[in-house]
């Protein structure tokens, strides 16, 4: 079990790293243009994606493109509200949480799968059992489930092995699949994994209709979708595989595609000048952290960690790395989380105080190393800024770029880990408790993302209590305690939360950026064409 869990965690982390290279840019004013009523020709939405999804299976996803495509076809019991971390019923019309181990869902009546079969409790039980049957990026979300039962035809009860007040956020990631369809396409008990990789049968508004490897895939509307249809909604989605970012931007600017499904990192001025394109900006849940190896000198010394925290030029990162489109951290939880403690002040540079702390530490001049993941240009730029900052307080910083899996291996132990490691990561769910837990709880020491090897019993206790309560007021109090402990301990160097930047043809209305934008690039069903 531990081996499988470790593999699942690794898949999830690789997934997060692949897709957490966030965008930055300016927020454009809405451009008014002449819109026309949607004709049949208008109802095809064309997007560009850098790589062909490896899988459409809702329980076997390994990349951003996989998630975007699969989430269009398959729906969960509860959903995250666009533009926030709040949850709302989805395939479940209502739910109850009597305690942190018990979750009861009453299913929506009249929902059909794309094969014409009905959504019922047995379909949900099948989907969850399927998700638990093989190791994937979803495994970590279901591994704590003790049982999933159909308590009646339209009611499902999930029991957990231990308390988890944030489990609803896990539920929001589990797409429900047609058991009838899956069983028809099983091969040697594989839960139809091979077939589901390139086909779909969910309750979603659109389903896979065709593909050509490394060229394109298409989705067409599901006529019997439970949400119903308006005349000016999209009928067909075609996604072109365009590997070159500059080419994608050119295609959006020329009108060949309607939206990019990659982070927008350059040439925003071209898009902002186009009256047919809206460029939108929103705070994200992505974080950029340089970990401190708290078990190794000099970062076993609190004053050194405080000095480095004060030496960092946060404004320099915001302006020079992200063109002003980033949030300077206040505490260790992104401000977009509802449970963020707004009383914690923003980080700011204070070189004089940093120098005094270095003197008080007794460490003197020293040499340290920070390791970065290959392909992360923003990490390189941040490291260069930090390098210059630390030189002013007597610390020489060496920068080493290496493969992600090599970083995972070396950070499995404080003895082999460098003094600092870069993590460009995003929250996998809107669960703020798990976000702090995976980064700083002692049970995750040496695992991504607790490469600080941070251990504090008081922090662990606060997080454990937040995990165990379903009282929102109590949870907020425990999380505030936890956040302030991390600030006092300088548990890591939290540098910035880059904003999410999206660009879309403004003939489409209703698009909202999700805080987990790289997991949910777009909800096609919510778009309308023209007014």
Rounded to whole angstroms, the Cα distance separating 166 from 373 reads 30
Which CATH homologous superfamily contains domain 286-498?
Dipeptide-binding Protein; Domain 3 (3.10.105.10)
Rounded to whole angstroms, the Cα distance separating 51 from 262 reads 10
pTM, whole model, 2 decimals? Answer: 0.82
At what angle are helices 457-468 and 472-489 packed, to 10 degrees?
160
Question: Which pair of tokens denotes residue 361?
Answer: 């530490």
Backbone angles phi, psi at 210, to 5 degrees: 180, 160
- Start-end ranges of CATH 3.40.190.10 in the chain? 2-281+500-529
Residue 317: count other Cβ atoms within 10 Å of its Cβ.
21
Rounded to whole angstroms, the Cα distance separating 4 from 6 reads 5
Encode the chain (531 residues) as per-residue pLDDT tens digits.
434 444 444 444 433 443 333 322 333 333 333 333 445 557 999 999 888 888 899 998 766 667 778 889 999 999 988 777 789 999 999 999 999 999 999 999 999 999 999 999 999 999 999 999 988 767 888 989 999 999 999 999 999 999 999 999 999 989 999 999 999 999 988 999 999 999 999 999 999 999 999 999 999 999 999 999 999 999 999 999 998 888 998 999 999 999 986 556 567 788 889 999 998 888 888 889 999 999 999 999 999 999 999 999 999 999 999 888 899 999 999 988 889 999 999 999 999 999 999 999 999 999 999 999 988 888 999 999 999 999 999 999 999 999 988 999 999 999 999 999 998 766 777 899 989 998 999 998 887 778 999 999 999 999 999 999 999 999 999 999 999 999 999 999 999 998 888 889 999 999 888 776 554 567 899 899 986
Q: What pairing do the DSSP bridges indicate for beta strands 420-426 and 500-505?
A: unpaired
SS3 131: helix
Q: Which residues fall within 8 angstroms of residue 445, CB to CB, at 6 or more apart?
A: 453, 454, 455
Q: Which of 67, 112, 108 is nearest to 202 (CA)?
A: 112
**Domain 2-281+500-529 CATH class label:** alpha beta
Q: Which of 109, 112, 74, 76 is nearest to 224 (CA)?
A: 112
* Contact yes or no for 404/14 (Cβ under 8 A): yes
Backbone angles phi, psi at 304, to 5 degrees: -70, -40
Angle (nearest 5°) at CA 70 between 67 and 75: 110
Only one residue has tokens 């909202």, namely: 512
Question: Which pair of tokens denotes residue 254?
Answer: 């020329």
Question: Which pair of tokens denotes residue 518?
Answer: 């790289």
Q: Which of 439, 496, 483, 491 is nearest to 308 (CA)?
A: 491
Q: Which of 187, 162, 204 is nearest to 56 (CA)?
A: 204
- Start-end ranges of CATH 3.10.105.10 in the chain? 286-498
What are the CA-CA distances from residue 346 to residues 90, 232, 290 (Å)?
A: 36, 45, 17
């Amino acid at each position: 079990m531990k081996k499988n869990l470790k593999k699942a965690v690794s898949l999830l982390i690789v997934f997060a790293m692949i897709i957490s290279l966030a965008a930055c840019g300016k927020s454009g004013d809405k451009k008014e243009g002449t819109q026309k009523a949607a004709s049949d020709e208008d109802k095809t939405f064309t997007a560009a994606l850098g790589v062909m999804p490896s899988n459409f299976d809702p329980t076997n996803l390994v990349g951003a493109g996989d998630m975007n495509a699969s989430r269009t076809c398959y729906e969960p019991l509860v959903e995250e509200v666009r533009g926030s971390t709040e949850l709302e019923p989805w395939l479940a019309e209502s739910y109850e949480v009597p305690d942190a181990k018990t979750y009861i869902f009453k299913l929506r009546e009249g929902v059909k799968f794309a094969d014409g079969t009905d959504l019922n409790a047995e379909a949900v039980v099948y989907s969850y059992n399927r998700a638990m049957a093989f190791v994937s990026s979803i495994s970590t979300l279901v591994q704590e489930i003790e049982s999933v039962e159909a308590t009646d035809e339209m009611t499902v009860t999930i029991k957990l092995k231990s308390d988890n007040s944030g489990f609803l956020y896990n539920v929001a990631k589990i797409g429900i699949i047609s058991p009838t369809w899956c069983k028809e396409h099983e091969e040697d008990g594989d839960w139809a994994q091979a077939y589901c990789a390139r086909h779909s049968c969910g309750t979603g508004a659109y389903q896979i209709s065709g593909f050509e490897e490394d060229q394109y895939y298409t989705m067409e509307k599901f006529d019997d979708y439970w949400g119903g249809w308006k005349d000016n909604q999209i009928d067909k989605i075609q996604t072109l595989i365009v590997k070159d970012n500059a080419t994608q931007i050119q295609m959006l600017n020329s009108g060949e595609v309607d939206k990019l499904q990659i982070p927008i990192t350059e040439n925003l001025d071209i898009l902002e000048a186009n009256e047919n394109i809206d460029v939108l900006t929103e705070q994200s849940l992505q974080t950029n952290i340089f970990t401190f190896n708290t078990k190794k000198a000099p970062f076993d010394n609190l004053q050194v960690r405080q000095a480095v925290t004060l030496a960092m030029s946060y404004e320099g990162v915001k302006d020079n790395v992200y063109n002003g489109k980033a949030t300077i951290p206040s505490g260790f939880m992104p401000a977009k989380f509802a449970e963020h403690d707004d009383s914690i002040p923003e980080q700011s540079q204070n070189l004089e105080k940093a120098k005094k702390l270095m003197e008080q530490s007794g460490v003197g001049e020293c040499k340290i190393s920070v390791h970065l993941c290959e392909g992360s240009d923003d990490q390189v730029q941040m490291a260069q800024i930090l390098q210059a900052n630390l030189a002013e307080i007597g610390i020489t910083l060496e920068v080493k770029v290496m493969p992600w899996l090599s970083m995972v291996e070396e950070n499995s132990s404080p003895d082999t880990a460098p003094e600092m490691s870069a993590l460009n990561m995003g929250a996998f769910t809107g669960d703020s408790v798990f976000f702090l837990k995976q980064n700083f709880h002692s049970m995750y020491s040496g695992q991504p993302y607790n490469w600080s090897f941070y251990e504090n019993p008081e922090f662990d206790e606060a997080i454990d209590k937040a995990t165990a309560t379903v009282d929102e007021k109590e949870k907020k109090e425990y999380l505030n305690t936890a956040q302030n402990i991390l600030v006092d301990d300088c548990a890591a160097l939290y540098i910035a939360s880059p904003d999410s930047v999206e660009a879309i043809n403004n003939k489409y209305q209703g698009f909202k950026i999700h805080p987990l934008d790289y997991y949910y690039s777009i909800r096609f069903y919510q778009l309308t064409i023209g007014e």
